[in-house]
Amino acid sequence: MDPLSDVLSLVKVEDAAFGRLEAGGQWALQSTKANHVVFCALLDGPCWLIPDNMDQPIRMEAGDCFAISNGASFRLCSDLTANAEDYSAPLKNPTNAVRRLGTGSGTTLIGGRFTFADACPEPLLGFLPPMLYIRAGSDSATSLRGILHQLAYELDNAHVGKALMMNHLAQVALLAALRAYVTCEQQPSQGWLGALADAKIGKALSLMHADVTKRWTVADLATSVGMSRSKFALRFKSLVGLGPLDYLLHWRMNLAARALSGSNKPVNSVAYGLGYKSESAFSNAFKRVMGYSPKSLRMRERERKPIKQEWHDARR
């Protein structure tokens, strides 16, 4: 997989809530700062969006989408002077996911709030921009609106597999928003997403993710992307925040954590699968990066596992 798909495959949605807003006349909603990602699409009518730390409000038009993350707050309103209500209120009551504000109609928004598990890979969530804004004319906006419509459908209907469907749709919504951000005309210039958008550093990331067990050197990677070793190392670290080999080490340990949590593979099998020649070398690297040993992770996962699941595992 490409690096973005690779990292997103490790993202787990811990909690998700979705809702629809129908408003008319004078109204306003204010979000609070929280550790979650908010997606929203304006289906009908105009409104104002005022994100954190922005001097100028954004005039949204039908079809526009946005995503807010990293603890940023925002305000949605018909009037910049209107008194605001709590944005999260309609998301707290799953039996009444439609909220009406003001008088009459004219503006309809659909949105969701996703909280990701603490174990999400730092390379991605640590570098998410505070805001992604996607204009209606882009292909990505069409895609994101379609996903949010499907989320609303799942919310309103009690179909089998609902929880799993909503979890996967949340991941797809995040991917659609990030794809729009990486491929937009004003490409990100910093952070992990900026590294993906950079032709040479993005290629180096792809090479590492495509062959995570290879004993890469900085010189190998620099040569592969047509840069000198020193310029490549400096450019990589300035974007990603880690040197190339440190990044590769952290990514391997994220993969190891998933393997240890999601399977009964012996620790030495996980180690060899990631290119380590001994279990001890792998365990030392894992503890240095994650702060605990592979066996400690296994013990914690075992304590969390329900008895019925252990019985099922024993029968397999």
Side chain identity, residue 228: S
111 φ, ψ to 5°?
Answer: -160, 175
Strands 74-77 and 47-51: antiparallel
* pLDDT computed for residue 125 by the predictor: 58
Side chain identity, residue 141: A
* pLDDT computed for residue 188 by the predictor: 58
- Beta bridge partner(s), residue 22: 100, 108
Rounded average pLDDT over 255-274: 89
- Domains belonging to the chain, first-starting first, are 3-183 (2.60.120.280), 198-241 (1.10.10), 246-315 (1.10.10.60)
pLDDT tens-digit readout, 166-181: 777 877 877 787 777 7
Strand blocks (E) in 4-106: 13-24, 28-30, 37-44, 47-51, 58-60, 65-68, 74-77, 85-86, 98-102
Residue 291: pLDDT above 50?
yes
Phi-psi region of 123 (alpha: psi -120 to 50; beta: other; left: phi over 0): alpha
* pLDDT computed for residue 311 by the predictor: 35
Residue 157: pLDDT above 90?
no
Contact 129, 50 (CB under 8 A): no
pLDDT tens-digit readout, 194-237: 888 889 999 999 999 999 999 999 999 999 999 999 999 999 99
